[in-house]
Structure 1
């Protein structure tokens, strides 16, 4: 076995311990997916949908993994063509037309075509070109105002399209957005490319197309002032499904890049040029068109190819969005003197790492601990490292922690009944072991709290009767 293969396998074993084994990552995802499914009836009843996104939803459990939540109203429907309005009931839905002809790639405008069915939409509308358009600035402020009023949400501030803050010591982002069941014509190239390269797999590709996309309230930052009519296309749901479709070596390489970004590239930099979204996009591009082998004994080479892609992108000053490649995601950063200077500094740093080769990974304390023993001692057995990654007890602990971290308790009986009605349907369906455990935990939680609510109501009624007939 070559030295690179030995170090790659040691790195794979170390990352499994640090990031998670295939089983642990599966547990995290399936518990979250089932939790989201169970809560759907309550959200539909309230005309609101919520979706967890970001690295935590993808299956990472870094201390720095923030909790991202996307929220949208279900009684406002976004269409890409006027003919699509026939699909919706005008007595129940307001119609919003997405316009992408006079905007920068990756951005759209949202024109309200019918009367708003919610007061917050009405307060966010501004006149433009004989039409009424939704302001991203006003819409973003609504979410910030909402979360600021919550006692448990601390240090609320605006961060991109989100209201950012802390719940305890956990950083959290909330984005109030719009969902669209249809795809913008700007994504035609992406759809063609997926078919050409057979990635993602057909079932994943179909699932992505069937779930549509979102629009988040942030405008194009190329200009000095943000255009309040611009909304950014968001593919968070599609990205989550793409990450789910990665094999474990690909997922660990993604995690390795995130570690290297945090501990080496962005170390000590207050406003870094490079962010984790660029790392994720790099993974998507190279899995789709990279044509190299993603396996444990090739992990170092996989990392190095990803690193070189990032270096070339920074050198060219061009980083195409995976879904809308016409959108150069570096453009807004390079439009300022500060951003251009940050790029030059980053390029110098990346060139220095390139001269070092893959040994640049040793600058990361986390990675160095994983691979230094193998580099220094050729007698370390890789088989031993791979066979003792995690014990069964570790896996059981992961299952317990993930399931008990989820809250199913509702504050009113109606919501509990809505969940129980869904459960009666779900219990007759086939699920994985971890999904079934989550469903059982939810059932127990909802039944117990419903019983206590009924008992409390009954006790109050009995007490009143005793006073009346005393």
Structure 2
């Protein structure tokens, strides 16, 4: 490949489009950072801490990416020296000592229990060695694997390394049940000193990493070792995430380029690859810290090549030093050296940078530039994206957040956490995330409280309903357009059908505007609201699905569906706002006895389902959508129509896991039809 600077800029722009522009990556990280800030006080309150790690948390959005989650108990305190014992309250905390000795390989520790365990998880993982209690990584993994299998949220649960690997819907999730420490061990001193001597990472990042600590995950180094069951691996996932976020965008794209090349070329058609994404990440860390490279768009291919040569060098030597603990050779106990893998990589090396053409993704980026020497782009084109597209990306990231399946007390703790955060200055995207989460928390609190509250008099009841309505109005005024539908749901729930109809007309008018952002994007029309603030655009033009959480009654007609979804591990039902408008209208007119308007609304609802191409009623929600149509027909006495709708519901993708509810309703309708015939 000649004219490397030109080709590098083409690759840079192509990777920006594939992986994300700087603004998009910043949005992803900002939203996740805010979610963690909101969640942290709640997690501390419950004692169950968790954080997202891996590619998704780092800012990648690959279609095939899984979700990596680390989970630990706030009451388990790990220390590296016995002198640190006095820091903690032994009446509240379980104290665990990390032992490093010649019997454990670098990067691994043995965990000795110093106090009486405060929970059964510690007790069930204890083994005795010479009268001293140690934590068994094997028992720990088995215990949490069983817990994961019993959780109906997940399916296809299995053990993979230190993690429980499971699926939620079609998303693969790696759950690492671990232990956390803020006391750095002696063996990590090399990394700390090295980082102080180099300009990367910056001092403030290093200080934050040292403050946040690290984890121990339940896996030993060598299964043949007599201490394998007692060994726990030091994990620096939280520090790694901070380091990735410190990368400039060229470095981040080079990291993504290496990941794509690994997946589509090196590991293509290999069932058990010897190289993994962690080796790629470690390569990036070493090269950024130790090598003097110009990390800029027109040098991207040279940056890739430098990293690739380091990778080959490690494979040839059979030594791949861990970034945090160089004494830990990550190739140890692996069949790596000058064998097949080296020959494979050396073949790519002899091809030069043109080996990138072996990747379908990278070839599609490079071919236009290689076909003609006049084809060129400027790297700034990789940063250009319309306000509309940025808003759509921001909306997708924020609306993916969830705080479902909580008690009223937990929601109240969450609201206090949000209130404290409003005192600080954040990026516009983080501020918007905080605003959205405020609206969602208020909505959830109202329905949870309404479900559990008891009033002794009518006066108390009316006062409480008025308070709930006012809170939902506030939520609707600070949230997105569709959040007002929760107020309409509440009106229907308390029998204010005229109020429901009036509100539906108002919301329908707002949702019918051509600039509405739902799952479709009208670029030209949306530009008319771009003059507003980001908050104003959300309140004026963004729409989201309604989320009905299990255990809370939003509307009587869907209780059966919520119960059946919960039995199958789905704790939230998702309903299109456009569908909600129609079926609430149908039911309200029916309750008011307005037969003609009921029939018209029912016809509108059916037309929406039959004619929509997935823009207004998403394909993966249509099982519940057809079910709702059937319920509306059933309520009005159209048994044949209800029968057909329920049957159609069973033909859809079972996204909401309500098949048993559908079958139950079918039996009722069939029984009624049979009774009519008799």
Equivalent residue number for residue 158 of structure 1: 159
Please tell me whether residue 35 in structure 1 is matched to residue 30 in structure 2. Answer: no
| CA distance 1:385–1:79, shift in 2 (3 Å) | closer
Equivalent residue number for residue 303 of structure 1: 304
Alignment of 1:8-407 (within 5 A): 8-101=8-101, 102-221=103-222, 223=224, 227-333=228-334, 339-340=335-336, 344-383=339-378, 386=381, 389-407=384-402
* Contact 2:53–2:69 (8 Å) recurs in 1: yes
* Contact 1:24–1:398 (8 Å) recurs in 2: yes
* Contact 2:190–2:325 (8 Å) recurs in 1: yes
Equivalent residue number for residue 421 of structure 1: 416
Equivalent residue number for residue 336 of structure 1: none
Question: How many equivalent residue pairs?
Answer: 458
Q: Deviations over 1:377-434 (max 9, x none)?
A: 1222313982675332221111011001110234211001101111121111111111
Give the SS at the match of 1:331.
coil
Q: Deviations over 1:229-282 (max 9, x none)?
A: 000000000000000000000000000000000000000000011101000000
| CA distance 1:317–1:413, shift in 2 (3 Å) | same
Q: Deviations over 1:9-61 (max 9, x none)?
A: 00000000000000100111110111111111221121111011011000000
Q: 1:225: how far off?
A: 7.3
Measured in 2, the distance between the counterparts of 1:304 and 1:133 equals 46
Equivalent residue number for residue 470 of structure 2: none
Which structure 1 segments of 5+ residues have no match? 334-338
Measured in 2, the distance between the counterparts of 1:63 and 1:381 equals 28
Q: Deviations over 1:54-81 (max 9, x none)?
A: 1100000001211011011111110001
TM-score, normalization by structure 2: 0.66
Measured in 2, the distance between the counterparts of 1:384 and 1:200 equals 25
| CA distance 1:3–1:126, shift in 2 (3 Å) | same
Larger displacement relative to structure 2 (425-434 or 321-330):
425-434
Give the SS at the match of 1:95.
strand
TM-score, normalization by structure 1: 0.94
Measured in 1, the distance between the counterparts of 2:65 and 2:254 equals 17
Give the SS at the match of 1:310.
helix
Q: 1:192: how far off?
A: 1.1
| CA distance 1:83–1:233, shift in 2 (3 Å) | same
Measured in 2, the distance between the counterparts of 1:332 and 1:29 equals 36
* Contact 1:10–1:385 (8 Å) recurs in 2: no
| CA distance 1:278–1:461, shift in 2 (3 Å) | farther
* Contact 1:17–1:390 (8 Å) recurs in 2: no
Q: 1:209: how far off?
A: 0.6
Larger RCO (CA under 8 A, 6+ residues apart): 1
| CA distance 1:388–1:56, shift in 2 (3 Å) | closer
Equivalent residue number for residue 568 of structure 2: none
Measured in 2, the distance between the counterparts of 1:305 and 1:388 equals 25
Q: 1:340: how far off?
A: 4.5
* Contact 1:13–1:389 (8 Å) recurs in 2: no
Q: Deviations over 1:180-214 (max 9, x none)?
A: 01111111111111111121000000000111110
Measured in 2, the distance between the counterparts of 1:163 and 1:462 equals 51
Measured in 1, the distance between the counterparts of 2:144 and 2:455 equals 38
* Contact 2:216–2:234 (8 Å) recurs in 1: yes
* Contact 1:409–1:446 (8 Å) recurs in 2: no
| CA distance 1:44–1:136, shift in 2 (3 Å) | same
Structure of greater Rg: 2
Equivalent residue number for residue 430 of structure 1: 425
| CA distance 1:225–1:349, shift in 2 (3 Å) | farther
Give the SS at the match of 1:221.
coil
* Contact 1:220–1:226 (8 Å) recurs in 2: no
| CA distance 1:210–1:391, shift in 2 (3 Å) | same
Larger displacement relative to structure 2 (371-380 or 48-57):
371-380
Measured in 1, the distance between the counterparts of 2:330 and 2:379 equals 43
What's the RMSD between the two structures over aligned residues?
A: 1.8
